[in-house]
């Protein structure tokens, strides 16, 4: 009987994590799409050169920290038993990269920039707490580049 209660508890947590995790992810992707649309006019590229009509640029940075949810942890654990792509983490990584770029572009917009060049993306694992007998994964995503302001707007 105790085993059934534990199994029921596990299944309930898994279902709750799946439901709320997916709902949160869908909401975040919708917010990102809306923000990306409003920032669409700011060009982003990884090239170094700047056209002559731009004055010297300013460093802009966007960073975000995203942590896994319980469902992703369980799904990744099960997938690691047989190997292969950890699809559960792919959307987490996509959300992190997109959010970092959006934040970088928002900072560029505040400076009056219309382009960001020499853009770089970095990811760093921030924490793995093994004291809880299972790792807790969180990662920081950083997007940075040089914001270019058209000539005559920068004083």
Mean pLDDT of 132-143: 75
Instruction: Tell me which residue of 61, 58, 63, 155 sits closest to 113, measured CA to CA.
Output: 58
Report pTM.
0.76
CB 138 within 8 A of CB 68: yes
Sign of the alpha-carbon torsion through 87, 84, 75, 67: negative
**pLDDT digits 0-9 by tens, 51-97:** 666 666 889 999 998 877 666 666 666 667 777 777 777 888 899 99
Q: The CATH number of 2-148 is which of 3.40.50.300, 3.30.110.70, 1.10.580.10, 2.40.33.10? A: 3.30.110.70
């Amino acid at each position: 009987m105790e085993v059934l209660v534990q199994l029921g508890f596990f299944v309930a947590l898994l279902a709750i994590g799946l439901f709320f995790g997916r709902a949160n992810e869908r909401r975040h992707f919708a917010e990102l799409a809306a923000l990306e649309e409003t920032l669409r006019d700011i060009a982003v590229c990884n090239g170094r050169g700047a056209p002559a009509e731009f004055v010297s640029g300013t460093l802009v940075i966007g960073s975000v920290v995203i942590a896994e949810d319980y469902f992703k942890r369980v799904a990744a654990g099960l997938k690691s038993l047989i190997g292969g792509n950890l699809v559960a983490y792919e959307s987490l990584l996509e959300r992190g990269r997109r959010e970092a770029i959006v934040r970088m572009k928002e900072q560029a917009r505040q400076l009056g920039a219309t382009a960001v060049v020499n853009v770089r993306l970095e990811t760093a694992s921030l924490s793995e707490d093994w004291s809880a007998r299972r790792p807790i994964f969180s990662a920081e995503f950083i997007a940075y580049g040089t914001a270019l302001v058209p000539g005559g707007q920068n004083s």
